[in-house]
Amino acid sequence: MIVFVWTGRGLWTAAIMVGIPGAVAAVMTLSGHEATFDSHAAIRGVSLLGAAVVNWFVGRRWNAGRLKGRRARHTIFLLPMEYWSAPIALWGCYLIGRELLRA
């Protein structure tokens, strides 16, 4: 069982990480390229890189008070939202690298 621990809007990190690749998959399915999305991990990797960028900017914006010495209010698993952008980006880079090395 997975237990999510978040404060404030921190759960949005998970929504962004799932939502942006999901939106890319939906657009590709609607445009008739579902097989391309399923067979090329690099497309999922690029969408995860986009999710990391969005999460970074959203997290920095929402946790702006932290820069003034206050504690971050929007966290997930005890880390501020924007810090989760690095693992999301690394996952995206891994998928892209795996696709490039396979080719």
- Predicted confidence (pLDDT) per residue in 77-97, tens digit: 889 999 999 999 999 999 999
Inform me whether the pLDDT recorded for 66 exceeds 70: no
Among the listed residues 55, 60, 48, the one whose alpha carbon sits nearest the alpha carbon of residue 92: 48
pLDDT of residue 69: 67
Q: With bands split at pLDDT 50, 70 and 90, how would you rate the model's confidence at 73?
A: confident
Inform me whether the pLDDT recorded for 72 exceeds 80: no
Among the listed residues 61, 64, 54, the one whose alpha carbon sits nearest the alpha carbon of residue 84: 54
pLDDT of residue 35: 81
Domain ranges of the chain: 9-102
Q: What is the pTM of this model?
A: 0.87
For the residues 39-65, what does the mean pLDDT come to? 93
